[in-house]
Amino acid sequence: MKQFIVDAFTEKIFGGNPAAVCVVENFPPEELMQNIARENNLSETAFVTKEKNFYRLKWFTPAAEIDFCGHATLAAAFVILTQVEKNLSAVEFETLSGKFFVERKGKFFEMNLPAYVPKKIPVTEAMQAAVRAKISEAYLARDLLMVLDSAETVENLSPDFDALKNLDGLTQAVTAADKNFDCVSRVFAPKLKIAEDPVTGSTHCLIAPYWSERLGKKKIVARQASARGGILHCEIFGARVKISGSAVLFAVADLKI
């Protein structure tokens, strides 16, 4: 089995969010895919298999299969379009969350994804205790989004990860306005055995619509302020969001299984 390690949402190795991409003729048994993801110990391992004119795509964290992952989708598209079928300029994926279309545009890979609708919910004491910062607003879709007062608060945050597990949402994100970008964020996923996700495409399907509405603009440039860091170019159009970023190849391996 051929496996690629790709750093997504970055133009340099050791930046962005690393994902493993396994290109297979047919999906292996679920137990084996889960074991590979656990062995890789990255936030996501993607599995792709060709079917006629599209690819089926699955994502696994070290803990479980999930229904949507942005950076591993970008990584999978990067592998298909630069390593497997170099003559293509776009690829279509069939996933648990429907069809995703990714187009290569120069150094960027543009994903066409479903947008989450931010639903405002009350800020609770449990949220503020878990985040260890003042929260001005909170929104819930698949993930929980908490709005803080400044980029500096987001960057310096030291949350209580055990307490985060008890909050709503698959992941828990914090965000604020940023002087050099439209917004800054960090994303935590202790429920998936991931303390902090370096760059999270799927959660920006919630973050980007929020900032689009707040700022009154369709195009959002977002910075994720993890230790590795990453930049996401987002565009809202109706119930969809285009998220673009670069990617680089770190390693290629033959798995002995």
Residues assigned a catalytic role: 44
Closest CA to 164 of 203, 125, 130, 124: 130
Q: Which token pair is 133?
A: 């910062």
State the DSSP H helix or E strand holding residue 161, giving kind and residue range, or none if neither: helix 161-164
Token couple for 215 = 């700022």
User: Which residues face 103 on adjacent strands?
Assistant: 90, 110
